[in-house]
Amino acid sequence: MDRKVHDTLLKWKSSSGRALVLEGPRQTGKTFIMKEFSKSYHYSVYIDLEENEELKTVFEQTNDASEIYEKLSYNGIRFDTSSGNPLFIIDGIQSCPRAFSALKPLAVDGRCDMIASVSLPGVEPSEGDFPSPIGYVQMVEMGPMDFEEFLWAMGIGKELTAKIRQWIDTGSEIDVSIGSALTRYFRKFMTVGGMPAAVQKYVDTKDCNEVWDVLASICNIIEKDALRYSDKKDRLKILACLESIPSQLAGENKTFVYKDVGKQAGTGRREYGSSLDWLHRAGLINLCYNLRDPCEPLSQMERTDSFKVYLKDPGILTYMLGRETASAIESGNTYVNEGAVVESCISQALVSNGYRIHFYSKPNSSLKMDFVISYKGRLTALETRSGKTKISRSLLMLTSGDYKVERGIKIADGPVGADEHGILHLPLFAPCFFDIPRIETAPSRTPRK
């Protein structure tokens, strides 16, 4: 599986000096990519602290780099430094917080290039008197495969996906046969998702039922992590929050309601806030906040009491919604369950491309917008919910001049084009190819003589 993060690792290697930590949910391919990356070294050492309790004691006994290497050698682990720095991989470092702390002395020592993985991003504290490695580590987030990586796995070359990105960026018309093929792949992505094991199973078998079994196994692992790595008082609440997300997204409103978690009136953030926060810190969900007003700066317009919760992986969401949902999507009903899966796909596409996501719902009004982002330096409204209607009343209202929204984009199952109102229509997969937002800088002035 070709992953974009591999380029990040190569760049780190050429200018290393700090340890690198891959953080992200379990089953997103961190171990695989680290082992693939190790092939660029003359020599590498791999240890898994979740699988080897004895090696944990090495880090629990000392925080001195030389002593760590000596104790590892007594465990039969050798480091060949004869031809330059070897790569030292520590997998599952979240199971041993003192090993996470040890990344600082190991990075300073410099005899190895250090790379580690954290499967639960929110679980990486140092303990006792051991120093924090922050400042000596580069944190790199790794989530599920995005749609472009999914296309690579399906055999679509990088040259072709680069062309797709260019077409979306310029708003160019896409050939009908190509657009239809990409839409079919996108629907498949909605049911298979981006977890590498699920994608690989589909590549190998083309059997969605076998993929279903893989997704079931991944969901079981998520549940076990919640029970193992959370406070005892929150464990069942975390699972309840997770299980409520599909039904909340499948409703017309989609805004997360705490009392719907336990089906008990009067419950709210006090009962479930820390549990939802655990899911967010574990890298399993995206939070999309409502705006008091759709204007810049978006971060200052957030209503922290009103938000949507999206699962990062569409395959897991489809699995939780059930086989009927998967069958409907496979049959072409993209907007089944009020568009819960397609909206989640788009949320993750925007987040993975570097966008901060928000939505807008005007109180006591039918005016609502699925996403409001800053796209190409302009405040942009994105609508995904109306696949069959050509004219969007909410988009027209937000871009009419009474609001500060400068651009309207409708994401639908259709071709690229602009309508008579200036609304840009893009296909379902388009946000997966949006350019990464960049910091705009003013041109430098030529100094006066």
pLDDT in tens, the chain (449 residues): 899 999 999 999 998 689 999 999 999 999 999 999 999 999 999 999 999 999 999 999 999 999 999 999 999 999 998 889 999 999 999 889 899 999 999 999 999 999 999 987 664 444 455 667 888 999 999 999 999 999 999 999 999 999 999 999 999 999 999 999 999 999 999 999 999 999 999 999 999 999 999 999 999 999 998 888 888 899 999 999 999 999 999 998 899 999 999 888 778 899 999 999 999 999 999 999 999 999 999 999 999 999 999 999 999 999 999 999 999 999 999 999 999 999 999 999 999 999 999 999 999 899 999 999 999 999 999 999 655 566 788 999 999 878 999 999 999 988 899 888 889 999 999 999 999 887 765 555 554 44
In angstroms, the CA 217 to CA 203 distance is: 18
- Orientation angle between helical segments 196-205 and 176-192, nearest 10 degrees: 120
d(CA 105, CA 244): 43
Residue-level pLDDT at 388: 58
Give the pair of three-digit tokens for residue 198.
Answer: 């699920």
Q: Specify burial of residue 383 (Cβ count, 10 A radius: 0-12, 13-18, 19+).
A: buried
Determine contact, residues 185/235, Cβ cutoff 8 Å: no
> What integer pLDDT is reported at residue 445 of this predicted model?
54
CA nearest neighbour of 323 among 209, 449, 163, 445: 209
Q: What confidence score (pLDDT) does residue 390 get?
A: 65
Backbone angles phi, psi at 272, to 5 degrees: -120, 0
pLDDT given at position 13: 94
List of domains in the chain: 5-141 (3.40.50.300), 147-433 (no CATH)
Which residues are bridge partners to 417 per DSSP?
425
Taking phi over 0 as left and psi of -120 to 50 as alpha, with beta for the rest, 157 belongs to beta
Model pLDDT, residue 146: 97
Q: Collect all residues with Cβ–Cβ distance below 8 Å to 78 and sequence separation of at least 6.
A: 45
Quickly tell me which residue has 């499967």 as its tokens.
119
Q: Which helix (H) or strand (E) holds 306?
A: strand 302-311
pTM assigned to the model: 0.92
The CA distance from 289 to 196, in Å, is: 29
Region class of 311: left (phi > 0), else alpha (psi between -120 and 50), else beta: beta
Quote the pLDDT of residue 298: 95
> Cα separation of 156 and 154, whole Å?
6
